[in-house]
């Protein structure tokens, strides 16, 4: 407890400022998924793929693309693990 008392302000800064700031700027990658529809579609039409299907004799087929952000990068997993372990250790010390 004395360790926490001497570092209380630094821990508060870490928990209230630095950790949320780090989470805000975590890197991500964009994944593009393709979906095939029949008779109609929702989303952003992939005109090239749809035209190719129409020219191949499938006039009722539409292809769309959707973008998704993925945060499951190794450095993000590390930050999440570090934060959750820090919370567990602090919880154990305070109790």
Instruction: Assess whether 61 and 83 both reside in one domain.
Output: no
Is the entire prediction scored with pTM above 0.75?
A: no
User: What is the percent of the chain where pLDDT is above 90?
Assistant: 41
Instruction: Assess whether 62 and 88 both reside in one domain.
Output: no
- Domain around 6: 1-27+72-95
Residue 1 and residue 13: Cα distance in Å, rounded? 18
Q: How far is CA 5 from CA 12, 33, 35, 64, in A?
A: 11, 50, 55, 56
pLDDT tens per residue, range 4-15: 677 777 877 887
Instruction: Assess whether 38 and 49 both reside in one domain.
Output: yes
Q: Measure CA of the first residue to CA of the last residue in the chain; give whole Å.
A: 10
- SS3 letters across the chain: CHHHHHCHHHHHHHHHHHHHHHHHCCCCEEEEEEEEEECCCCCEECHHHHHHHHHCCCCCEEEEEEEEEECCCHHHHHHHHHHHHHHHHHHHHHC
């Amino acid at each position: 407890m004395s360790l926490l008392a001497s570092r209380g302000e630094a821990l508060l800064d870490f928990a209230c400022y630095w950790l949320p700031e780090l989470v805000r700027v975590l890197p991500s990658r964009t994944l593009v998924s393709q979906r095939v529809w029949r008779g109609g579609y929702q989303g952003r039409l992939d005109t090239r793929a749809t035209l190719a299907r129409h020219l191949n004799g499938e006039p009722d087929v539409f292809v769309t693309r959707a973008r998704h952000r993925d945060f499951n990068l190794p450095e993000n997993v590390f930050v999440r693990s570090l934060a959750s372990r820090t919370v567990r250790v602090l919880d154990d010390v305070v109790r």
